[in-house]
Amino acid sequence: MPERGAAESLGLIYTAALEAADPARAVRDGLAANEVSLELGRDRPHWIIALGKAAPAMAGAALSHCAEAGLVVAGGLVVAAEEPAREEFPSTMERLIGDHPVPGVRSRHAADRLGALVERVGRDDVVLVLISGGTSSLIGAPIDGVRAEDLAALHALLLGAGVPITRINAVRKRFSRWGAGRLAAALECGRIIPILLADVPNEDPAMIGSGPVSPDALEAWHVERILRGAGIAVRVPLSVASTLGAMRAGVIAETPKEGTPAFARVEPPFIVGNSAALEAAAAKAHALGFAPVLLSNTSLTGDATGAGRVLAHALARATAGSCLIWGGETTVRLPEHHGLGGRCQQLALAAAETLDDLGVRDGWLLAAGTDGRDGPAPAAGALVHGSTWRASVEAGAEPGVALRRCDAFGALHAASALLPPAVTGTNVMDIVVAVRR
């Protein structure tokens, strides 16, 4: 049995997971894996395109590597969700802030600046494409025929409908200027080296950041099926629906597919994702003395409320000293009149209710986003235990009502169960860690 308290142990396990998904480390490892390609292009200019929540750290690591290797960086673009104040960049590296989670004016400007950079890249140049979570929205701009406000509405519609992230990206990348391999198609360079921080299950490069340099395996009819399955086909904005119909009819070209010449210039993507974070979490749990440590091989998906209840039951069946670890990304289907929270908070509150119902007083569960943010609420997630539900009630909150209204933030705040937001610099989905004392 670990000597540390459960809350402290869970915090250390969470920190270990974040360190394993460090974006700078991912870039260093990715560039080392592409040493031959970099050497072959040594005499050509190198460009850095870093997009996503981890863009500043990834770009900084790439610049350092190139400087140490004597590679000339001609320029680049960094598009992040927040001002990259901690990183030092040369004047040749343009830095921008995009909109997230729904694209806006800043996202369209970033997409335009990416287009300007693409035009400067030479035919034999080397382009480092560094992608992390948030890319879809941060450079969210529509393809021809789709209105900008309709693309934003599509993003919001998908996010509010509880659609899994892979299906969200399967839909929105089709209508995005740089998604679905269109960046690779636009770059007429010698070599593209992609390094990706995966924020999707199965770490599929075609879905990470909407797959800017990966072929799109789906057809228009697949997208129609996803929209119908989510029950939102009739709510899709007109310009999106008409463009999709034109693609289905062959009037508008399909997205770039496998075998397109542009992808012959793309190196196999180097990917660091949720699995690396989970393995590090498990190793830390072992080091802290937990036994057994059970790491789920199944990605955590589906409804956050249901997932929280299922995980709480799993914890209730675990023996004293156990540590259970899951990773993935659940969804929340928002009611018409909803409150404030996030998927990790919703999962944690549901787990707290079940732990209370089962009388599991020695069970603890942490659910948090690896990016340090959980939805629009000012929290990274939550850390609950067997008495959290009662503590929330005794503090005057109504956790049952909050759970139904997707208003977990207030109920958890009343019980002092929230994890403070943080700028982690990475984003490889969520992790959930549960322990029995």
What is the average pLDDT across 68-84? 90
What's the pLDDT band for 40 if we cut at 50, 70, 90?
Answer: confident
* Percentage of the residues of the chain whose pLDDT score is greater than 70: 98
Q: Give mean pLDDT, residues 414-422.
A: 97
Question: Three-state SS for 295?
Answer: strand
C-alpha span between 106 and 108 (Å, rounded): 5
Query: Is residue 3 scored above 80 in pLDDT?
Result: no
Return the pLDDT at 83: 65
In this model, does residue 1 exceed pLDDT 70? Answer: no
How are strands ordered across the β-sheet holding 46-51?
93-97, 73-80, 46-51, 126-131, 191-197, 270-272
CA distance 191 to 185: 12
Count Cβ atoms below 10 Å from residue 354 Cβ, excluding itself.
21
- Mean pLDDT of the region 365-393: 96
Domain boundaries, given as residue ranges, for the chain: 22-141+176-218+255-272, 274-436
pTM of the entire predicted model? 0.84
Q: What is the pLDDT of residue 266?
A: 97
How confident is the model at residue 87, as a pLDDT? 60
Q: CB atoms < 10 A from the CB of 258, how many?
A: 11
Confidence of residue 334 (pLDDT cuts 50, 70, 90): confident
Note the Cα 134 to chain centre separation in Å.
6
User: What are the pLDDT digits (tens) for 125-162?
Assistant: 999 999 998 999 999 999 999 999 999 999 999 988 88
pLDDT digits (tens, 9 = 90+) for 132-142: 989 999 999 99
pLDDT value of residue 71: 94
Is the per-residue pLDDT at 283 higher than 80?
A: yes
CATH match for 22-141+176-218+255-272 among 1.20.140.10, 3.30.70.20, 3.40.50.1100, 3.40.50.10180: 3.40.50.10180
Q: What is the mean pLDDT of the chain?
A: 94
Return the structure tokens found at 181. Answer: 């391999």
For residue 411, which of 339, 363, 309 has the smallest C-alpha distance?
Answer: 339
Calculate mean pLDDT across residues 301-326.
97
Span 42-68, average pLDDT: 95
Give the CATH number of domain 274-436: 3.40.1480.10
pLDDT (mean) for 381-391:
98
Burial status of residue 226 (CB atoms within 10 A of its CB: 0-12, 13-18, 19 or more):
buried
Mean pLDDT over 287-311 rounds to 95
